[in-house]
């Protein structure tokens, strides 16, 4: 591993030296398998029972060669730079590409991490670094779909995660999956975010469990498909209560603790529908426009120590979206495949967003990399919205 093989801009010339890079290289499964058992390296393939994971147990491993490589994380969680596998959101195993720059000749692995694999394609894996190790996050609406995916992304990065949802069975199953897949310290709570007392209990639950609240992700949301003239007041109120009032209540409950700590970040899930009108979802559009404006107001009031941002996805490939095709078809009389094709056609990138695409953006906005970003409404819509 000659020094001239490491480009000047590569992170291996800043923070990680060649010795630690060797340690990372040695941790790749195909290398580990070829090494004799010296009794000094941890078994990365080991897993815990769901019960142990829910209890928050953390496996400890002995150091291989360098003090800056931390092994005090679950051994089924890949190390930084490791080429290995992790459970996808559907439970299948997927390969993790090297997260280090493809320009580094040491890191680059054929078919993994190079420009041909990344440019113009949606993410299909979670690149993990442990950047949220020791931090806590609350994710609302996390029984399935996007909320579960965001919680999984934080869990994979080492965060302690509290998830809540009105679906009791769903949120319990989601927590079990997170704990068993990532060894995460997960707490599940049943809560309706439009209920003030329930929201207060969620925030208190996170503080009681983890002793701190670093991140809040407001994902809970519902949609009602109907022409504006057919939307009754009850349906309108319910969408506004969950999508907008819920964000207000959770931020109001969480912000005092973050302000006292002079640290924290909030990411609200808005929508491209909050930036422009969309057919047959009037209350949803109104609620998400409100979330964007509320995010900006909160960002001004929470500065300088707490950052508040939102993301604006377009069409996310989830169960909820599959249900929407049928509901729109019932109104218009169109074939659901025609509807799906028209939605794809509306995006310059010509593909739906995946849960991982949105989760990656949420992690970015929650990370120190976004330390100069607050009050933003980040589009993740395949180019459908560009303002």
| Interstrand relation of 93-96 and 84-87 (parallel, antiparallel or unpaired) | antiparallel
Nearest to 283 by CA among 238, 322, 343: 238
- Give the integer Cα–Cα distance in Å for 122 and 119: 8
Nearest to 149 by CA among 2, 356, 369: 356
Determine the Cα–Cα distance for residues 260 and 258; give it in Å rounded to an integer: 5
Q: What is the dihedral of CA 153, 156, 159, 161, to 10 degrees?
A: 60
284 an active-site residue?
A: yes
| C-beta of residue 64 within 8 angstroms of C-beta of residue 44 | no
Q: What is the DSSP string of 25-56?
A: HHTSHHHHTTS---S-S--TT----HHHHHTT
Torsion angles phi and psi, residue 249, rounded to 5? -65, -45
Q: Using an 8 Å Cβ cutoff, are 340 and 315 in contact?
A: no
> Who's near 355: CB < 8 A, 6+ residues apart?
89, 145, 146, 148, 149, 150, 316, 317, 318
CA dist 81 and 9 (Å) reads 17
DSSP of 256-268: HHHHHHT--EEEE
d(CA 54, CA 184): 7
Catalytic residue among 210, 284, 325, 364: 284
DSSP state string for 334-359: --HHHHHHHHHHTSTT-SPBPHHHHH
- What three-state secondary structure class fits 312? strand
Burial 159-176 (b: 16+ CB within 10 A, else e): bbbbbbbbeeebbbebbb
Active site residues: 284
């Amino acid at each position: 591993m000659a020094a001239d093989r490491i480009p000047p801009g590569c992170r291996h010339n800043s923070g990680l030296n060649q010795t630690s890079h060797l340690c990372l290289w040695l941790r790749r499964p195909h290398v580990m398998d070829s090494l004799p058992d010296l009794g000094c390296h941890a078994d990365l393939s080991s897993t815990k029972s769901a019960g142990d994971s829910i209890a928050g147990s953390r496996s400890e491993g002995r150091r291989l060669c360098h003090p800056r490589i931390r092994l005090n994380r679950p051994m089924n969680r890949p190390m930084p730079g490791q080429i290995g596998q992790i459970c996808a959101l559907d439970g299948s195993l997927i390969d993790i590409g090297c997260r280090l720059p493809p320009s580094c000749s040491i890191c680059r692995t054929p078919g993994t991490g190079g420009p041909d694999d990344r440019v113009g394609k949606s993410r299909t894996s979670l690149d993990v670094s442990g950047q949220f190790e020791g931090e806590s996050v609350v994710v609302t609406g996390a029984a399935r779909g996007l909320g579960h995916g965001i919680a999984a992304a934080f869990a994979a990065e080492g965060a302690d995660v509290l998830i809540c949802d009105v679906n009791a069975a769903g949120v319990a199953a989601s927590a079990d999956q997170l704990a068993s897949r990532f060894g995460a310290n997960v707490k599940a709570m049943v809560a309706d975010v439009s209920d003030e007392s329930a929201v207060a209990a969620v925030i208190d639950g996170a503080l009681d469990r983890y002793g701190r609240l670093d991140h809040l992700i407001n994902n809970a949301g519902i949609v009602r498909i109907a022409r504006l003239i057919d939307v009754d007041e009850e349906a309108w109120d319910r969408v506004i209560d969950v999508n907008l009032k819920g964000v207000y209540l959770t931020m109001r409950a969480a912000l005092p603790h973050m302000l006292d700590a002079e640290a924290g970040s909030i990411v609200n899930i808005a929508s491209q529908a909050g930036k422009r009108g969309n057919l047959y979802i009037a209350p949803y559009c109104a609620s998400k426009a409100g979330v964007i404006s509320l995010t900006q107001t909160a960002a001004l009031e929470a500065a300088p120590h707490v950052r508040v941002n939102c993301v604006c996805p377009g069409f996310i490939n989830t169960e909820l979206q599959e249900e929407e095709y049928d509901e729109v078809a019932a109104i218009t009389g169109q074939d659901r495949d025609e509807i799906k094709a028209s939605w794809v056609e509306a995006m310059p990138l010509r593909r739906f967003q995946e849960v991982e695409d949105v989760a990656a953006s949420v992690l970015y906005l929650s990370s120190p990399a976004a330390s100069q970003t607050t009050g933003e409404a980040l589009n993740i819509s395949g180019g459908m919205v560009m303002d």
